[in-house]
Amino acid sequence: MIIFKNVSKIYNDDFHAVDTIDLHIKEGEFIALIGPSGSGKSTTMKMINRLIEATSGTILIHGQDIGDQDPVLLRRNIGYVIQHIGLLPHMTIGKNIALVPNLKKWDKARCDKRVDELLEMVGLPAKEYKNRFPAELSGGQQQRVGVIRALAGDPPIVLMDEPFSALDPISREQLQDELLNLQTKIRKTIVFVTHDIDEAIKLADRIGIMQDGKLIQFDTPEQILRHPVNEFVRTFFGADRMNQVESLPTIEEVMIRPISSFPKRGLAESLIKMRKYKIDSLLVIDRNEIFLGVAGVGEIQKNFSNETMVLEDVMKKEVPTVRLSQQLDDAINLISENQVAFLPVLDESSKLKGLITRASLVDVMASQLRSNNNGVASFGGEGS
Amino acid sequence: MMFNNFLVMLQNRWPEIMIGTWEHIQLTLVALFIGNLIALPLGILLTRKRNLAEAVIGITSVFQTIPSLALLGFMIPFFGIGFGPAIVALSIYALLPILRNTYTGILGVNQAVVDAGTGMGMTSRQVLFMIEIPLALPIIMAGIRTATVMVIGVATLAALVGAGGLGDIIFRGIAMARQDLILAGAIPAALLSMIFDYILKRIEIAVQP
Amino acid sequence: MKKITLLLLSILLSMSITGCSSFWEKDNNTVVIGGKNFTEQDILVYMMKGIIEEKTDIKVKAKAYLGGTNVVSQAIDRGDLDIYAEYTGTALVSVLGEEYSPSDPEVVYEKVKTIYETKKQIVWLKPFGFNNTYTLSMRTEQANALGIETFSDLAKQSAALRLGATHEFLERVDGYQNVKAVYNMQFSSPAGMDPGLTYTACRDSNVDVIDAFSTDGRILAFNLKVLADDKKVFPPFYAAPIIRADTLRKHPEIGEALNLLAGKLTNEEMMTLNAKVDLEGKSPQVVANEWLKAKGLI
């Protein structure tokens, strides 16, 4: 979809803003570029719509060299959201959103329809907001408009330059959630520049880490966290984590992959599986991953002689579970209150997402203690 | 009694005052037209060639510092006397406020908005006409209003080079030490200033979103 | 153009003179000579200064370029000035506010001399000789081509000619208003302008007829022609030194010295001297002293 081949941006004073970057962004992928200021992340992004021209190398979009294209026409097919929102203060919200469609000379009916549709998509009723001016909207609302304005011309690619950094934390969270939600529907190729690691991890499919104009690691958040290529990446991510020592890790960070089985499985088959994984319980889910219950090794052995019985006959349905959106505190309390060894982690539609065990909690606590001697002392005592 | 005399004088001089006012309006409008014609495009051009801006605005500022009488006099060898030199001098006076406000007005437009426009695929002409000029308009109009009020004032001096206008009545008054005559020229000039300023203000409000 | 700026300056100056006379401290052996704000007066100031200092032991303080007639005449009344050069016509009409009816120069001179001595205790000495009157002037070439010699000749053809004049001339009842009425002038729309511009405007054919002073150096230099005021609309403006009577009583030698200048300056001569200052850029003081030497007066 977007391919950088040996791309550099060198200024006259021999400053290498971007240094021989190779980058391959797939269609529909959400990419975050992150790095300290001056690392070249923004420059890299702006070379995609030629707001900054590369001094050497090639950038291809859909296999075509963008250097051969009219930058104005190129930009009309690439959505662009900037940090300071950049709504035109003298135009109504409707006119702002319809800007690119108008530049593309869509007819009026099509523009109007598109504006209404986009406004509804971000929960701003078109009737109410279309004819207002940007100054009449809150910062969060303005940036929602900024985002949908970038989508208005239905571009396959959207560039976002620290779009949420100027917002207050609550609006920022909301807009991040909405953007994720929107992305599942629209599946654009998004290049998102940020200096906020949490934001990058939350939003991006893959993260490109930049330093001194070089792309030093480009991978999924998980892989970067697990296998930072060098000390810089480790400290860059670690340093940011330090800011959060006051809060516990999230449930998602603590949970492990569950061993699950389906309700119609036989008991013998299940025992073998448990033996193989050295576990004493199986989580039972249906074909849609909806959590149904827990089958313990004791129940299975008690009924083992009855060959007609399957897992759903022996499983316990009433077991404490924790939601993905809950805090780790809640999980710890549930485990100690109910005297259980583990908690299945479910999402909002009761799908099984993971498992928190006493053992996994201890692991996390131990690593927190290693990275920070005092930050987690308070909850270290509670786990026992 | 004095007031009565003043009224009688006004009555006698009415055609003269009307002619003077009309000449004054002509001087002002033509000078402003020429001033705008030069300063607006030049101001826009300077925002595109910023390395020239300091020099060009510097030169116009120097013109501004030349006493208006001297500037009028300076024109005579080149343009003779009458309407011509007056228009040239007045136009030069109108340049600076319009030029400076156009330049700073456009430069002062929030860069984020300009970036957004460019990034969305506006041509530089579209950025200029759809973003920069509309947003700089209040400042540009303020420059035009300043220039107008100034030109109306300086235009009274045009009477010294035979260009007529309300200055004619004022200078006759000065020559004869007659306060009433001076007022008969000065009051319409002041009224003109206020009326022009008001009209421009209305225009400014009308064209703003 | 310089004149316009100086005109404004002199207005300021005149305010300061009338406002605080103590500014002009003088001792017993010093007299103050003032001058109006134009070149001819400058030259006369320095001529009078030159001859007094040559012939007497009195020190002279020259206050040239003070302001208009109002300023200098008030200054001499108050005693801030002892001497300045006044014109008979100006004294009669502007200072004394008398009516002028067409009459001979000597009559006018005697009339103002008498009134000044009785009413103002100011003495008119003998005239310098030239008559710097208001007049109308044209390019010589054009005047000759059209056969215009006098105001009456001009009036007949005035509808086709352009008049450029100072605002003062156009406004004065005894100026253009009177000329227009007496000669039945037909100029369509006279253009008002700065006094410094009229001669140039005429030379450059921006206008055809201008108001002029008959001793202005530019008349000679620009090859202009002075038209004859055949109906004597304008009073005669013979210039003469005037002096406060008390000063003259104290220093009668000043009167004798100044009378040495009597009749020594013709119109042409004054015109030439004016031109030396206005057009050649010489200083009035230098011109005055050169003339005094040339005449063998110093």
Between chains, do B76 and C197 touch, taking CB under 8 Å as contact?
yes
Which residue in B has a C-alpha nearest to residue A50's C-alpha?
B119
Same structural domain for residues C187 and C210?
Answer: yes
The whole-angstrom separation of Cα A219 and Cα C102 is 112
Q: Which has the closest alpha carbon to B134: B111, B105, B104?
A: B105
3-state secondary structure of A242: helix
Residue A376 above 50 pLDDT?
no
3-state secondary structure of C181: helix
The contacts of residue B154 (CB under 8 Å, 6+ apart) are: B68, B89, B90, B93
The whole-angstrom distance between A90's CA and the closest CA on chain B is 6
Neighbours of chain C (3+ CB pairs under 8 A): B
pLDDT digits (tens, 9 = 90+) for A279-332: 888 889 888 888 888 888 888 888 888 888 888 888 888 888 888 888 887 888
Question: Residue C53: inside a domain, yes or no?
Answer: yes
C and A: touch, per 3+ CB pairs < 8 A?
no
* Residues B131/A86, Cβ–Cβ less than 8 Å: no
The whole-angstrom separation of Cα B141 and Cα A319 is 73
pLDDT of residue A282: 86
Tell me, rounded to whole angstroms, the distance of Cα C53 from its chain centroid.
Answer: 23
The whole-angstrom separation of Cα C41 and Cα B16 is 34
Structure tokens at B201: 């203000």
Please give the DSSP secondary-structure letter assigned to residue A290. Answer: B
Same structural domain for residues C221 and C266?
Answer: no
pLDDT of residue A342: 85
Q: Does B15 touch chain C (CB under 8 A)?
A: no
Same structural domain for residues A235 and A277?
Answer: no
Same structural domain for residues C110 and C243?
Answer: yes
Within 35-54 of A, beta carbons closer than 8 Å to B belong to: 49, 51
Between chains, do C193 and B159 touch, taking CB under 8 Å as contact?
yes
Question: Residue C192: inside a domain, yes or no?
Answer: yes
Structure tokens at C167: 């605002």
Q: Find the CATH number of the domain harbouring C198.
A: 3.40.190.120
H helix count then E strand count, chain A: 18, 16
Same structural domain for residues A266 and A209?
Answer: no
Same structural domain for residues C270 and C138?
Answer: no
Domain of residue C171: give its range.
134-226
Domain of residue A169: give its range.
2-242
A51 vs B112, B118, B134: nearest CB: B118
Residue B160: list chain C partners with CB under 8 A. 4, 193-194, 197
Tell me, rounded to whole angstroms, the distance of Cα A173 from its chain centroid.
Answer: 12
Same structural domain for residues A237 and A261?
Answer: no
Between chains, do B172 and C171 touch, taking CB under 8 Å as contact?
yes
Neighbours of chain B (3+ CB pairs under 8 A): A, C
Same structural domain for residues C127 and C144?
Answer: no
Within 140-169 of B, beta carbons closer than 8 Å to C belong to: 159-162, 164, 168
Q: Does A83 touch chain B (CB under 8 A)?
A: yes
Structure tokens at C207: 């206008």
Q: Does A262 touch chain B (CB under 8 A)?
A: no
pLDDT of residue C183: 95
pLDDT digits (tens, 9 = 90+) for C32-87: 999 998 899 999 999 999 999 999 999 999 999 888 888 899 999 999 999 999 99
Beta pairing partners, A34: A194, A209
Residue A357 above 90 pLDDT?
no
pLDDT digits (tens, 9 = 90+) for C169-190: 898 877 898 899 999 999 988 8
Question: Residue C232: inside a domain, yes or no?
Answer: no
The burial class, CB within 10 Å (0-12 / 13-18 / 19+), for C114 is exposed
Model confidence at A245, pLDDT cuts 50, 70, 90, reads very low
Domain end call among C187, C202, C226: C226
Same structural domain for residues A17 and A60?
Answer: yes
Q: Which has the closest alpha carbon to A334: A358, A307, A308?
A: A358
pLDDT digits (tens, 9 = 90+) for A106-144: 888 889 899 998 898 888 888 888 899 988 888 888 888
Q: Find the CATH number of the domain harbouring C49.
A: 3.40.190.10
pLDDT of residue A377: 37
Give the total number of structural domains in chain C: 2
Residue A374 above 60 pLDDT?
no
Q: How many CB pairs under 8 A join A and B?
A: 63
Same structural domain for residues A70 and A165?
Answer: yes
Model confidence at A375, pLDDT cuts 50, 70, 90, reads very low
The whole-angstrom separation of Cα C294 and Cα C217 is 19
User: What is the rounded end-to-end Cα distance, in angstroms, of chain C?
Assistant: 34
Which residue in B has a C-alpha nearest to residue A150's C-alpha?
B120
Q: What angle do CA A235, A238, A240 make, to 5 degrees?
A: 110
* Residues C262/C126, Cβ–Cβ less than 8 Å: yes
Q: b/e map of A96-117 (b: 16 or more CB within 10 Å)?
A: bbbbbbebbebeeeebbebbbe
pLDDT of residue B209: 59
Same structural domain for residues A193 and A326?
Answer: no
Q: Please, where are the H alpha helices in A66-196? A: 71-76, 93-97, 99-103, 108-121, 126-129, 139-151, 169-186
Between chains, do B112 and A76 touch, taking CB under 8 Å as contact?
no
Same structural domain for residues A69 and A27?
Answer: yes
Question: Residue C231: inside a domain, yes or no?
Answer: no
Same structural domain for residues C65 and C145?
Answer: no
Between chains, do B164 and C192 touch, taking CB under 8 Å as contact?
yes
Which residues of B sit within 8 Å Cβ distance of A? Answer: 110, 112-113, 115-123, 126, 130-131, 134-135, 208-209
Question: Residue A38: inside a domain, yes or no?
Answer: yes
Mutation site for A-interface testing, chosen from B109, B120, B130 by largest number of A Cβ within 10 Å: B120
| Phi, psi angle pair for B115, to nearest 5° | -60, -45
Between chains, do C201 and B168 touch, taking CB under 8 Å as contact?
no
Same structural domain for residues C124 and C247?
Answer: yes
The whole-angstrom separation of Cα C16 and Cα C21 is 8
Same structural domain for residues A22 and A112?
Answer: yes
Q: Tell if the pTM clears 0.90, that is, is over it.
A: no
Same structural domain for residues A288 and A229?
Answer: no
Same structural domain for residues C113 and C242?
Answer: yes
Across A13-27, A245-259, C148-162, least confident range: A245-259
Q: Which has the closest alpha carbon to C279: C2, C50, C68?
A: C2
Percent of chain A with pLDDT over 90: 7
Domain layout of chain B by residue ranges: 19-207
Mutation site for B-interface testing, chosen from A42, A43, A92, A99 by largest number of B Cβ within 10 Å: A99
Residue C207: list chain B partners with CB under 8 A. 81, 162
Residue C93: list chain B partners with CB under 8 A. none
Residue B177: list chain C partners with CB under 8 A. 70
C and B: touch, per 3+ CB pairs < 8 A?
yes
C197 vs B162, B171, B177: nearest CB: B162
Same structural domain for residues C283 and C260?
Answer: yes
Same structural domain for residues A208 and A276?
Answer: no
Q: Does A87 touch chain B (CB under 8 A)?
A: yes
Same structural domain for residues C100 and C77?
Answer: yes
Same structural domain for residues C76 and C186?
Answer: no
The contacts of residue A181 (CB under 8 Å, 6+ apart) are: none
Element (H, E) at A340: none
| Phi, psi angle pair for C136, to nearest 5° | -110, 145
The whole-angstrom distance between B149's CA and the closest CA on chain A is 28
Give me the half-sphere count of Cα atoms (radius 13 Å) on the Cβ side of residue B50: 4
Between chains, do A80 and B116 touch, taking CB under 8 Å as contact?
yes
Is the domain covering B19-207 a CATH 1.10.3720.10 domain? yes
- What interhelical angle do C284-294 and C267-278 show, nearest 10? 140
The whole-angstrom separation of Cα A7 and Cα A20 is 5
Q: b/e map of A326-338 (b: 16 or more CB within 10 Å)?
A: bebeebbebbeee
Q: Which has the closest alpha carbon to C212: C132, C130, C136?
A: C136
Residue A231 above 70 pLDDT?
yes
Structure tokens at C118: 């009785």
The whole-angstrom distance between C165's CA and the closest CA on chain B is 9
Q: Which has the closest alpha carbon to C197: C212, C182, C185?
A: C212
The whole-angstrom separation of Cα C67 and Cα B28 is 32
Question: Residue A341: inside a domain, yes or no?
Answer: yes
Same structural domain for residues A74 and A197?
Answer: yes
Model confidence at A201, pLDDT cuts 50, 70, 90, reads confident
Between chains, do A103 and B121 touch, taking CB under 8 Å as contact?
yes
Domain end call among C175, C199, C226: C226
Structure tokens at A311: 């897992």
Between chains, do B172 and C191 touch, taking CB under 8 Å as contact?
no
Mutation site for B-interface testing, chosen from C70, C168, C176, C197 by largest number of B Cβ within 10 Å: C197
The whole-angstrom distance between B94's CA and the closest CA on chain A is 28
The whole-angstrom distance between C12's CA and the closest CA on chain B is 13
Q: Find the CATH number of the domain harbouring A355.
A: 3.10.580.10
pLDDT of residue A248: 67
Averaged confidence pLDDT in chain B: 88
Model confidence at A371, pLDDT cuts 50, 70, 90, reads low
Domain end call among A220, A242, A264: A242
Averaged confidence pLDDT in chain C: 89
Same structural domain for residues C21 and C54?
Answer: yes
Q: Does A185 touch chain B (CB under 8 A)?
A: no
Q: What angle do CA A244, A248, A253 make, to 5 degrees?
A: 100
Averaged confidence pLDDT in chain A: 83
Domain end call among C226, C250, C285: C226
Same structural domain for residues A131 and A179?
Answer: yes
pLDDT digits (tens, 9 = 90+) for A173-187: 888 888 888 888 888
